[in-house]
């Protein structure tokens, strides 16, 4: 099935398929969280975040400015300039920044930081899959050092622009974090072998999260204190697999509230947890 047909199938059929699937399950097999999603879908369009909080956000409301010297669009994000990867398509930048605000809403199942999962003064932070760097920008004032891993070269200029005021404590690494080491890949175990250990790790890498975890096992095993946030919605069973992984390494875990409907590689039971937080104190 080509991409056009997949998009048509998603728009036309996926919502009733999800509703019918849960309607046909025994009531005791459907959680309260799942029931809330089904009720939402019955009266709203299919959306990745099937909750009313999303209605607060519109791309047209995003105030975009342009840095003419760097030819980059940016928005003011929590009082700081957050740059987009080019200065040519304003509406695309607005749509992208709108998705960030939506994802990091306090009610979002994709929100990285919570009251429990946050950083302390002088923590060393690793952001794997940094993209535009909103997570790191949220914690830049507290962090002692931040390592930004982003393999997409299109984000390099934007990251450099966003973090220029803090360039003395931010390193941008253009490699794909994995469980191997070569010209294009690096494992965190190898990267931090001769560096001060990190306290905070965030992983959001479009389905390659397991490879990142495979490449940081030594560091995780020796860690006395560590907080890790990992996206679990890119693959259907990652929330269970990662929970098992962290339990084996003596971490306490919790899952984000609510669900995400991730329309790539979608399969039963269709609803996926957004993140797992793992903490070793």
Residue 15 has pLDDT above 80, yes or no: yes
CATH number of the domain that residue 254 is part of:
3.40.50.150
Q: Do 16 and 152 fall within a single domain? A: no
Count of domains observed in the chain:
2
Residue 221 has pLDDT above 90, yes or no: no
Could you tell me if residue 206 is inside a domain?
A: yes
Q: Do 150 and 268 fall within a single domain? A: yes
- Residue-wise pLDDT tens digits, 121-133: 999 999 999 999 9
Block residue for tokens 């975009």: 64
Q: Do 32 and 115 fall within a single domain? A: no
Could you tell me if residue 76 is inside a domain?
A: no
For the chain, how are helix, strand and coil distributed in percent, rounded to 5?
40, 20, 45
Residue 243 has pLDDT above 80, yes or no: yes
Question: Measured between alpha carbons, how far is 64 from 62 in angstroms, rounded to an integer?
Answer: 6
List the beta bridge partners of residue 9: none
Residue 10 has pLDDT above 70, yes or no: no
Could you tell me if residue 240 is inside a domain?
A: yes
Give the per-residue pLDDT at 4.
55
Could you tell me if residue 65 is inside a domain?
A: no
Residue 7 has pLDDT above 70, yes or no: no
Q: Do 138 and 219 fall within a single domain? A: yes
Could you tell me if residue 138 is inside a domain?
A: yes
Domain span holding position 180: 111-280
Give the per-residue pLDDT at 6.
60
Residue 67 has pLDDT above 60, yes or no: yes
Block residue for tokens 């990652």: 238
* Contacts of residue 133, Cβ cutoff 8 Å, sequence gap at least 6: 82, 127, 148, 150, 155, 158, 159, 162, 163
In this prediction, residue 2 has a pLDDT band, given cuts at 50, 70 and 90, of: low
Q: Do 9 and 129 fall within a single domain? A: no
Block residue for tokens 């020796």: 222
């Amino acid at each position: 099935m080509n991409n056009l047909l997949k998009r048509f199938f998603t728009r036309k059929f996926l919502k009733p398929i999800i509703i019918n699937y849960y309607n046909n399950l025994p009531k005791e097999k459907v959680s309260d969280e799942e029931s809330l999603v089904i009720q939402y879908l019955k009266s709203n369009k299919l959306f990745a975040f099937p909750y009313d909080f999303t209605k607060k956000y519109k791309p047209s409301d995003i105030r975009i400015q342009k840095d003419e010297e760097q030819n980059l669009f940016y928005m003011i994000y929590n009082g700081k300039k957050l740059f987009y990867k080019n200065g040519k398509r304003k509406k695309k930048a607005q749509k992208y920044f709108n998705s960030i605000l939506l994802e990091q809403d306090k009610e979002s199942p994709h929100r990285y930081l919570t009251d429990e999962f946050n950083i302390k003064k002088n923590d060393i932070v690793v952001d794997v899959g940094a993209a535009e760097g909103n997570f790191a920008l949220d914690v830049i004032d507290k962090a002692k050092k931040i390592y930004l891993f982003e393999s997409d070269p299109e984000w390099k200029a934007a990251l450099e622009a966003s973090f220029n005021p803090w360039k003395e404590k931010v390193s941008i690494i253009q490699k794909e974090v994995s469980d191997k080491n070569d010209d294009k890949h690096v494992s965190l175990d190898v990267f931090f072998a001769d560096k001060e250990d990190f306290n905070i790790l965030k992983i959001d890498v479009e389905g390659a999260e397991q490879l990142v975890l495979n490449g940081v096992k030594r560091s995780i095993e020796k860690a006395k204190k560590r907080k890790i946030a990992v996206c679990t919605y890119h693959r259907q069973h990652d929330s269970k697999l990662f929970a098992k992984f962290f339990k084996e390494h003596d971490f306490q875990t919790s899952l984000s509230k609510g669900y995400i409907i991730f329309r790539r590689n979608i399969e039963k039971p269709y609803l996926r947890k957004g993140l797992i937080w793992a903490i070793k104190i």
